[in-house]
Amino acid sequence: MKIPRAQRGRKWGVALAVATMIGGLTAATQNPAIAATPPLQSIVPVPVSVQAAAGVTFPLVASTKIYTEAGSAPAKEVGDYLAAILRKSTGFALPVADAPATPAADGITLLLNGAPASVGQQGYQLVSTATTVVLRAITADGLFGGVQTLRQLLPGKIESSTVQTGPWTIPGATILDYPRFAYRGAMLDVARHFHPVASVKRYLDQLAQYKINNLHLHLADDQGWRIQIDSWPRLATYGGSTQVGGGAGGYYTKAQYSDIVAYATSRHITIIPEIDMPGHTNAAQASYAELNCNGVAPALRTDIEVGYSSLCISKDITYQFVSDVIREISALTPGPYFHIGGDEAAATPPADYLTFINKVLPIVAANGKQAIGWHDIAKATLPANATPQFWGTTTSDSGVSNAVSRGSKVILSPANKAYLDMKYNSSSPIGLSWAGYVEVQDAYNWNPGAYLSGVGESAVRGVESPLWTETVKNSADIEYLAFPRLSAHAELGWSPWSTHDWNTFKVRLGAQAPRWKAQAINFYASGQVPWDNGGVPGTCTQPAWNASSIYTGGNVVSHNAHKWTAKWWTQGEEPGTTGEWGVWRDDGAC
């Protein structure tokens, strides 16, 4: 969590004064629900090029087959993945077989030949006609990305885990597509609240749908250590024994972590482990007294304070600890990156901080990894292959621009745009607000290629969406904060800037609703988005909100096409727009 100390004060009391009466509604909160959007106008992230074949559809029927590049195990794995998704909802057999020399007229064909060179290592070409669907790419990564687009060309109920009624048709089209940035990431903090393997896998499935190809796991912090380290076993067994607010905490065994890595690989996602240091280390220091300068282990912490912990920079044992941890985790992680954290080290003197970073970077390199760190690490002179990850709320940082001038690329995660743990508005039931409220339009309306001074598009490695979990206890909480904003960030990372347009994006985003409902994703139904309700008119049976009313017993109202429940006495506080203490709970679209 990144919370500048001056911004951390929050009020937790109940409002006892009458708020100022609110006037008219804003246009952004009056979007009605819409009927189904045509599939070729519903794709998120939007492709580079879509050419429709008017009046042409490909029927997915009981006899349809899936063909994959003959002799290619990676292509067959993608075919098996697609078949497994489609079988659940269609009930069709969808056998997977080697592709013939000429694409068969009874199936969907996935090929690793014939794609235009412009698709690169992650792009694809998809051509659908009345008789066949052919997906071509240069790599299996490209095929996998194309499959995500193909899924969105089918009705949202294709994502159901039970058999649904058809018909199942794919519109005729030629789609050419490739990413703006090679790196498109999400971060999940499993340290503040521990999230078990099943929850991480569920999130991986959701990330894959939107062509996100990196999951950064924040594995250790003041409140918990979440991975087994054989050479320092108490890190997990003691340091992982609690979490924010108390509770049992937890940690991943090496076998469980390897299971996550393998599952991510099957979804064409790279796992990036993070061990935050030299600060955010209380769980480690509580586990081993020798990591403290005074040799005394502090108590475990279950609050959400930051900036008070630091490894002992002058002790040799500190670097043995760091080396052992990086070595053991790197051996389990085939991806190219290791994240060293480096943020909010207020308890580490500036000179000690530089000493520490300069000693740790070679340890990362010695284990065959490239270092990523929160942009604070750019206070040191970084090697060109080290990546600062910008999390600030400003649009300039001299350390980052200096690192770029020496050849580093930057991952962009500005907290007031990309942090998924920020509340949508004052009524959000979970999340924080130190960087401000981040509604869906805020998450979408920024340009990573021109956001940070001195960091042009060519210096951007990609975009990442961090989700810190001080208030996030389970998958439903993850989904509420991630969706729909994660999809907005995914489009920023994938689609050409020339396609960026809020008014068209919000319609495509709204078209994801039937898909998310079929998957039981607990998404936030933002009033800024015209959500597709399948053509069924929305009705609100509750009385309309009245700014002059006091809501006590009769506390359920209709407002802005949503049902709202007053959490306590309120007058004048408009649902979804005001109320510092969150007096209204959004119970979703009518």
CA 485 to chain centre: 8
- With tokens 């935050």, the residue in question is 276
Rg (CA), the chain: 25
C-alpha distances in Å from residue 360, one per residue of 105, 320, 364, 382 = 57, 10, 6, 11
- 34: its two tokens: 């819409």
- 214-218 and 556-559 beta bridge pairing: unpaired
**542 φ, ψ (degrees, to nearest 5):** -75, 155
Which residue in the block uniquely carries the two structure tokens 């005074």?
294
Give the burial class of 196: count Cβ atoms within 10 A of its Cβ; 0-12 exposed, 13-18 middle, 19 or more buried: middle
How many Cβ atoms sit within 10 Å of the Cβ of residue 161?
Answer: 11
State the Cα–Cα distance between residues 423 and 139, nearest whole angstrom: 38
Q: State the virtual CA torsion across 273, 278, 282, 283 in degrees, nearest 10.
A: 30
Residues serving a catalytic function are 344
Other Cβ atoms closer than 10 A to 238 = 18
75 Rama sector, left if φ>0, alpha if ψ -120 to 50, beta otherwise: alpha
Query: What residue has token string 């996030």?
Result: 472
For residue 455, give the nearest of 375, 349, 366 by alpha carbon: 375
C-alpha dist (Å) from residue 10 to 7, 414, 467, 469: 8, 21, 20, 17
- DSSP for 128-147, please give it: E-SS-EEEE-SSHHHHHHHH
Residue with tokens 């001080």: 470
Q: Which of 195, 187, 189, 186 is nearest to 473 (CA)?
A: 195
User: Strand 96-98 and strand 183-189: pairing?
Assistant: unpaired
CA distance 463 to 417: 11
What is the distance between the alpha carbons of residues 40 and 216, in angstroms, rounded to a whole number? Answer: 31
Other C-beta atoms lying within 10 Å of the C-beta of residue 165: 9
CA torsion through residues 503, 504, 509, 514, sign: positive
Show the tokens assigned to 367: 């284990």
Q: Is 209 helix (H, G, I), strand (E, B) or coil?
A: helix
H helical segments located in 295-343: 316-332
Residue with tokens 């969150």: 582
> Looking up tokens 């690490």, which residue turns up?
377
467, HSE (Cβ side, Cα atoms, 13 Å): 31
> Whole-angstrom Cα distance, residue 285 to residue 228?
16
Which contiguous run of DSSP H or E holds residue 447? none
What's the distance, Cα to Cα, between the start and end of the chain in Å?
34
Contact yes or no for 116/125 (Cβ under 8 A): yes
